[in-house]
Structure 1
Amino acid sequence: MKETLPNFIEHPLVHFRQRFDWDCGLSCIFMLLGRSERRQFLNDFKDICRSGGFGESTWTIDLCYLLKDFGIKHKYLTTTFGANPSHLGKEYYKCFNEDEIRVNEKFRNANFRGISIETISVPYDYLIQHLGCHGNIILLTSASLLYCDLCKVNKLSMELRSCLGLKSAYMGHYIILCGYDQRIQKFMYRNPAFKDKVCFMSFDAMDRARKANGTDEDIILIYDKLL
């Protein structure tokens, strides 16, 4: 029997604004860490990027390995197991050839490392269910389709464009879904490209941003609470 969810939920997070145009995924992980772990993360940042093999080109599977290293229980959902060859030649995936071997190897070794991956496409009510029962969600989106309903203009802000150096139609950008409000049909999320604030975006609009061509519908479910 499906559990009845509250109409409103927000998971509190310590906001962290990304420092470069490529570290949005790492910044999302930072928001999930405890105080001592955040200090360790900042002190060891360069070593973490080097030992993870990703440098300044971070894929979702890289984030999963890092979450595992920090002991954060999670599950990775994606429509493509491994590096999607259809991304070769796209402007955003300019490092595809360099990344492909690392990414595919990490996918192959994920089960051995205790990282759960499921190849699946899910509707947005699945995300609502997880937020209501378990915890936050790291979500890969197309930055050009993100906006905040609380802002005066419902389009990608100049602040985000400037931070990300947005040029192509698709630029992958990680955010954290941290809650929802069913009464107004909106997700709540934290965007590491912004200063400390919670953004609101409709369920349908977020679905378009997370299912845009290039995302492979990558989702990392974080399990703060266990049923």
Structure 2
Amino acid sequence: MNILPQSKHYNLTHYQQRYNWDCGLSCILMILSSTQREQFLNNFEGICKEEGFGSSTWTIDLCYLLQRYQVRHEYYTQTLGIDPNYTQHMYYSKIIDKDEKRVTRKFKDAKAHGLRVHQRTVDMEVIIKHLARNGPVILLTNASLLTCEICKRNVLEKFGYAGHYVVLCGYDINLQKVFYHNPEVHDGHICRCLSEAMDTARTAFGTDQDIIFIYEQQQNSNQ
């Protein structure tokens, strides 16, 4: 049995989101190489138009973007498509009508495009093991439940459900904490919270427990 390292950290370049909708894209920018990041930013509007999401991204959109840049990843979710219960949810009611056809089509075509999409949920132990052995993790969280020990407050200061993507970049088993990049943070510091607190934010209703495991070359990390 392989024993996990007591701690792990991936050196990512922090990128602050520019709008109120691009947290997911900002997480992708943190994962990409500097050359890929520059290409994406230089062609930002055109790529958003080509990918079809405009100013509203779902996790499946992020997977297609990662595939575009040949970043190896796997996507785990509770729901393949859109949970019909979300139509009654204030956060989603404004965007589902606009996004449903695109999101449904992208899920349907995922396998044909070489995407690995799994309908299952994972626990924090699986997430920590991935961080230890493979690479960073993109999580969809309820930002209203996400509080960083460094920021000392909920960065977004919203109530109810507020879907927000973050990138897990490390952990410390002894401290029972995870470290993450929050695209909303302006000074680039790495946020941290208890693993249990992150688990609460990522499994909240509305997230579908969406998670993207990134498989990265090991030279980009240190223990």
Q: What interval of TM-score do these two structures reach, taking the shorter chain for normalisation?
A: over 0.9
Q: Which amino acid aligns with 1:117?
A: V
Whole-Å Cα distance in 2 between the matches of residues 207 and 141 of structure 1? 9
SS at match of 1:135: coil
- Kindly indicate whether residue 111 of structure 2 is the aligned counterpart of residue 117 of structure 1: no
Q: Which runs of 4+ in 1 moved over 3 A?
A: none
Q: Partner residue of 1:144?
A: 144
Residue pair 1:68, 1:115 contacting (<8 A) in 2 also: yes
Please list the CA deviations of residues 115-141 of structure 1 after superposition, one character each: whole Å capped at 9, or x if unmatched.
001111111010000000000000000
Q: Distance in 2 between matches of 1:89 and 1:19?
A: 29
Aligned to 2:64: 65
Q: Deviation string for 1:127-184 (max 9, x for gaps)?
A: 0000000000000000101111234x3x313xx33xxxx4x50010000000000110
Give the distance between the partners of 1:98 and 1:89, measured in 2 at CA.
15
Matched, 1:209 2:201: yes
Q: Distance in 1 between matches of 2:11 and 2:25?
A: 18
Return 5+ residue gaps in structure 1 as ranges: none
The answer on 1:184 being equivalent to 2:175 is: yes
Distance 1:46 1:134 in 2: 31
In structure 2, distance between residues paired with 1:91 and 1:21? 17
Give the distance between the partners of 2:141 and 2:56, measured in 1 at CA.
16
Matched, 1:88 2:87: yes
User: Conserved in 2, the CA contact under 8 Å of 1:133 and 1:225?
Assistant: no
Give 1:89 deviation, angstroms. 2.8
Q: Residues of 2 paired with 1:42 and 1:26: CA distance?
A: 10
Distance 1:73 1:92 in 2: 30
- Matches of 1:38 and 1:99 in 2, distance apart? 26
Cα distance in 1 for residues equivalent to 2:63 and 2:214: 10
> Does 2:4 align with 1:5?
yes
What code does the residue aligned with 2:160 have? A
Q: How many residues end up aligned between the 2 structures?
A: 216
Q: Deviations over 1:57-94 (max 9, x none)?
A: 10000000000000000000001011111111322111
Q: Counterparts of 1:198 and 1:205 in 2: how far apart (Å)?
A: 16
Contact 1:181 1:187 in 2 (8 A): yes
In structure 1, how many angstroms separate the alpha carbons of the residues matched to 2:22 and 2:191? 19
Aligned residue in 1 for 2:211 = 219
AA in 1 matched with 2:122: V
Does 2:164 match 1:173? Answer: yes
RMSD over aligned Cα atoms? 1.2
